[in-house]
Amino acid sequence: MVRNHRVLEFYSGIGGMHYAFKASGHTGEILAAFDINNTANEVYRYNFCKEGRDVVVQRNIDSLPYTYFSSFAATLWLLSPPCQPYTRTGLQKGCADERAKSFLHVMDVLGNMERENMPEFLLVENVRGFETSSTRGALISRLTSLNYAYQEFLISPIQLGIPNSRLRYYLLAKKLPRAFSPALPAIDQVHNHIPRYIPERSSHTKQIKDYLEKLDASEGEKYRIKEKTLVKYGQLFAVYFFIKDVVKPSSQQSCCFTKGYYHYVEARGSIIQMNEDIDTTAFFSTDTTTSTVAAATVGADTVATSASTAASTYAILNLRYFTPSEISAILGFPRDFSFPEHISLKQRYRLLGNSISVEVVKRLIAYLLDE
């Protein structure tokens, strides 16, 4: 029997949860999508509300009473609350962080609803670190008191054969007496795989080139790492990107893309070395300001003699940023996803950096709702 779910999408962003639900194999209707970010809501409307009802609700969630949410009688809640209170680089204040306030309000709403109007299913997504936070403790306490069964996961897309490391925490909950099938042992254990989805071997992982666009000259120039950046960050490329962030089209991994990608260089996500012929390890293991590295990688004829040899030598690698379309594809957004033309490049990267892995959430929703 096919069931049509009634879905509320909290912290909806650009619609990653919406796409994941649509791709999960289950049917239903998104009743409302809550987000305070005006730009994200523009993108959401552009992709989902071109015709018919506008489901976007641009309100502070913590300003809405429980009776408002109860009126939807939704069967499924999808939640991706702000991650800043739980990140490794943040203050890690958990419940004491002002940015956790709206999510705690949602939990209070859940506790005040009539049982018949409470959602039967919930999915929560956040960064690694949430699982040790006081907010997680409050969430588990509330779910337990309301007779929900739950399972927790730490999953990265690379486990599903997707060449991207984006480890995230997920919690799935369903109202008792419903049960997870297949069941997982130890309710308080954070699991590292999704039932029915055995982690892929590396030989099955796709390559970066499977997600790349064919860029014309002008587009290629837009995303190329500029020489002034290479000069400014010359040594940084050697000690940081060599270690983790330079990938090739043939690579089977990439680092997590964050909201600062493209605007900042270091620690924001992988960049692509389009020149496959150069051994990256050998290149970065050598002093790039001397002729040694040039001779070792592309031949002595290319050795520059000026003080700017670092930039010209790095240019040999043909380094560029991933485009927003390439990142959205890696995250699992469908081909028909797009941004309104007026949304700036910087805004596109920020929105994608704050989004989710659609492919991972799709599988989690399928496991949550399958019975």
Residues that are catalytic: 83
CB neighbours of residue 224 within 10 Å: 16
My answer on whether omega of the bond before 177 falls inside 30° of 0, hence cis, is: yes
Q: How far apart are CA 224 and CA 125, in angstroms?
A: 33
CA-based torsion, 344, 349, 353, 359: positive or negative: positive
> Tokens 């990265």 belong to which residue?
156
Candidates 352, 242, 349, 223; CA nearest to 286 is 242
SS3 assignment for 91-143: CCCHHHCHHHHHHHHHHHHHHHCCHHHCCCEEEEEEECCHHHCHHHHHHHHHH
Residue 142 CB-half CA count within 13 A? 20
Percentages (nearest 5) of helix, strand, coil residues in the chain: 40, 15, 45
Q: At what angle do helices 38-48 and 345-353 cross, to 10 degrees?
A: 90
Q: How far apart are CA 370 and CA 233, in angstroms?
A: 50
> Tokens 């909201």 belong to which residue?
259
Q: How far apart are CA 351 and CA 14, in angstroms?
A: 7
Q: How far apart are CA 273 and CA 317, in angstroms?
A: 6
> How far is the CA of 9 from the CAs of 17, 78, 176, in angstroms?
7, 5, 22
Quick check: 77 and 10 in contact, CB under 8 A?
A: yes
Quick check: 370 and 181 in contact, CB under 8 A?
A: yes
